[in-house]
Structure 1
Amino acid sequence: MSLPVLICDDSALARKQMARSLPDNWNVEITFATHGGEGLEAIKQGQGSVVFLDLNMPVMDGYEVLEAVCKQDLNAMVIVVSGDIQPEAREKVMGFGALDFIKKPVSKEKIADILKKYGVINEADLLPDPTPAAIPEPSVVEAELADDEMTAYAGPKIELPNDARDAYQEVANVAMGQAADLLARLLNVFVLLPIPTVNLLEVSELTMALEAAESTDTISAVCQGYIGAGIAGEALILFHDSSFKDMAGLMNFKGELNEQAEVEVMMDIANILIGAFLKGFAEQLDMSFSQGHPVVLGQHCQISELVNENQARWKQTLAIEINYVIENHNIHCDLLMLFTEDSITTLNNKLTYLLN
């Protein structure tokens, strides 16, 4: 009899990668869930004796699913598979009864080791012939990325199919988690992570997106260019001015917090978040980036001023936006990775390679 296995992740790319990483001859029936609420319902219906659970999801996140499984005493062995690799994230999920914690991207070897370690898999569970388990979801993402829709530009504005957006979002999710982990370890904090947003934006739309992030606070901003093989762009990080006091405190900054001191604090945080994000992003695409020197774009200004002064450098762009918030501190910053229009073809090719 096949063992019911549930893969719960809001990313189609992540679900596909996870399914491919299961042992080829494991006698299982795979069910997919696209968010935590759907996953919890599948567990209640007996479709998740073994569950591979993401943390950052809409409707219900992984923490809420784990808490519900624990409180309702549901029959499920839960293995967390997440891009959020902060020490406190691991502690939280283990406290809720997770079997183990695996960082994204996953590998067949790591999955096999975990399953054997906890006795989840044994010879009786293996089929006599190494026939891969059927994956119940079509390879939509790969088909979309291979399509000419993304590379043959029919008009002045490129469209971004939903499935391509999903792939970009998942790669960004892993890179975001690595950057947060580095920041969390250095400052001894827990970083609350969002679901990254991915969009193709004109400069006018970028203005609106940035203004939506601004709220009522004035901001200070740092920009850093980066370039790789066929890919170029700028990282823009916006610091809410109300965050500086807490940031300086966590970094044990001594002395008066004047504008020069704020620049030093901004540069330190920007180097951590931008550098770690680019490293994590590049590793998944099997490439590397060279980074320029960070530049202060403005201090204590409105978003509209910042955009008006930099319109020429931001035309149509692939924008990945991540809002970092540090738990129990008044620290909020927005990281935008702005890839040039000319970079999209190369990025698509890299993502297609990642899917194969």
Structure 2
Amino acid sequence: MLNVSVLICDDSNMARKQLVRALPADWPVTLSQAENGQLGLDLIRQQSIQVVFLDLTMPVLDGYGVLAALQREQLHTKVIVISADVQEEAVKRVLELGALAFLEKPVDPELLLSTLKRLSLYPVDTCAPQAAQPEVEFQVSFREAFSEIVNVAMGLAAAKLAQVLGVFVRLPVPNVNILEVGELQMALLDAHNDQHLTAICQGYIGGGISGEALLIFYDSEVADVAKLMRWHSDQEVSSVEMLLDLSGLLIGACLSSLASQLDIDFSQGHPQVLGQHVPIDQMLHVNQKRWRKMLAVEISYGIEGHHIRFDLLLLFTEDSIPLLQKRLAYLD
């Protein structure tokens, strides 16, 4: 059996490692990798790539851009999208752009095998000896591993948000860093300079891991959010209730997915207003004595077709980091 030329295009080292492990053991492949869509597209142009496993949310050029370029340049590589962005509209768009299938991250090996068979990409020649897959070495850092489970959680939360609001949610590459509180303050001040904001906070704890989620809204956009939620924003209480409901949905879905992947249960506090119609530095002043060093996750959601964005921050305490590292060691 001739080797199949396969490209894995994903910015996550952890995701690439998981996918290599999920490939059928007796599927003889020549494997290439790319950490963003532009590098992947360059490899497709230069080599005879037969099958591409393509992520959607990547820097430089995302998966949609890769699919559009393949269609425009009439490059006939067979593409299977494997993504955490499970919005119905995302699935529809990639199939319209020529992808043969869409699989959810982290990919299930049995589902991957059945998909390859269905697409006639895995013809088993029982008379020929089966070649073992090549060994590929991966060194996955804690930050890379945690970023990938955040990516999955982010996608599931966006799918729920998209369903409730009837919109398409633009997903970023999540930003994950271990920071001193002063570093986080400087980054937030830089990102939200001269903006009046409203923030909802919600604490969580489970398995010795604890932290606080902050959902930050731009005041200039709250009326547009209210219209999508079909609320009347002429009364202050209605806006607050609307933001609390939206925060509970987004934060709850994200934490639920993280807990499931880490095999723990999070107890969540009630969402509360941290600050309203104030600059970001006044909100940070409220919490600065409660934090020293933390694992900070920043996810900036945007609503396509609307001038609406909001930032979700997940802040894990310093004591939680070693426990998270132990949990992620089992996933690696």
Question: After TM superposition, is the score higher than 0.5?
Answer: yes
Instruction: Give the aligned partner of residue 38 of structure 1.
Output: 39
Distance in 2 of aligned mates of 1:175 and 1:121: 31
Instruction: Give the aligned partner of residue 4 of structure 2.
Output: 3
Instruction: Give the aligned partner of residue 331 of structure 1.
Output: 308
Unaligned runs of 5+ in 1: 142-162
Q: 2:213 aligns with which of 228, 235, 239?
A: 235
CA displacement at 1:49 relative to structure 2: 0.4
CA displacement at 1:330 relative to structure 2: 2.2
Mapped pair 1:342 → 2:314: no
Instruction: Give the aligned partner of residue 69 of structure 2.
Output: 68
- Write the deviation string for residues 232-287 of structure 1: whole angstroms up to 9, x where unpaired: 10001111111211111111113x53321121111111011100101111111122
Instruction: Give the aligned partner of residue 162 of structure 2.
Output: 184
Instruction: Give the aligned partner of residue 312 of structure 1.
Output: 289
Instruction: Give the aligned partner of residue 134 of structure 2.
Output: 134
Change (3 A) 1:71 1:281: same
> The residue matched to 2:331 in structure 1 has which SS?
helix
**Matched AA of 2:133:** A
Instruction: Give the aligned partner of residue 59 of structure 1.
Output: 60
Number of positions where the alignment pairs a residue of Structure 1 with one of Structure 2: 331
TM-score normalized with structure 2 length: 0.96
Distance in 1 of aligned mates of 2:159 and 2:127: 37
Instruction: Give the aligned partner of residue 96 of structure 1.
Output: 97
Q: Is the 8 A contact 1:26 1:132 kept in 2?
A: yes
Mapped pair 1:221 → 2:221: no
Distance in 2 of aligned mates of 1:43 and 1:327: 29
Distance in 2 of aligned mates of 1:139 and 1:119: 29
**Matched AA of 1:198:** V
Q: 1:249 aligns with which of 218, 221, 227?
A: 227
CA displacement at 1:295 relative to structure 2: 1.4
Q: 1:212 aligns with which of 169, 190, 196?
A: 190
Q: Is the 8 A contact 1:56 1:62 kept in 2?
A: yes
Structure 1 stretch displaced more, 309-318 or 319-328: 309-318
CA displacement at 1:190 relative to structure 2: 0.5
Q: Is the 8 A contact 1:25 1:128 kept in 2?
A: no
CA displacement at 1:212 relative to structure 2: 2.5
Distance in 1 of aligned mates of 2:262 and 2:77: 34
- Write the deviation string for residues 215-239 of structure 1: whole angstroms up to 9, x where unpaired: 4321001110001102110001111
- Write the deviation string for residues 192-224 of structure 1: whole angstroms up to 9, x where unpaired: 110000111111111112112314321001110
**Matched AA of 2:260:** E
**Matched AA of 2:255:** L
Unaligned runs of 5+ in 2: none
Q: Is the 8 A contact 1:231 1:342 kept in 2?
A: yes
Q: Is the 8 A contact 1:26 1:126 kept in 2?
A: no
Distance in 2 of aligned mates of 1:126 and 1:346: 49
Q: Is the 8 A contact 2:85 2:155 kept in 1?
A: yes
Q: Any residues of structure 2 matched to 1:53-202 within 5 Å, and which?
A: 53-124=54-125, 128-129=129-130, 132-136=132-136, 138-141=137-140, 163-202=141-180
Instruction: Give the aligned partner of residue 146 of structure 1.
Output: none
- Write the deviation string for residues 164-190 of structure 1: whole angstroms up to 9, x where unpaired: 211111111110000000000111000
CA displacement at 1:75 relative to structure 2: 2.6
CA displacement at 1:59 relative to structure 2: 1.3
> The residue matched to 1:354 in structure 2 has which SS?
coil
Q: Is the 8 A contact 1:219 1:239 kept in 2?
A: yes
Mapped pair 1:263 → 2:264: no
What percent identity do the matched residue pairs reach?
Answer: 49
> The residue matched to 2:25 in structure 1 has which SS?
coil
Distance in 1 of aligned mates of 2:245 and 2:222: 12
Distance in 1 of aligned mates of 2:252 and 2:127: 43
Instruction: Give the aligned partner of residue 284 of structure 1.
Output: 261
CA-based RMSD: 1.5
Instruction: Give the aligned partner of residue 155 of structure 1.
Output: none
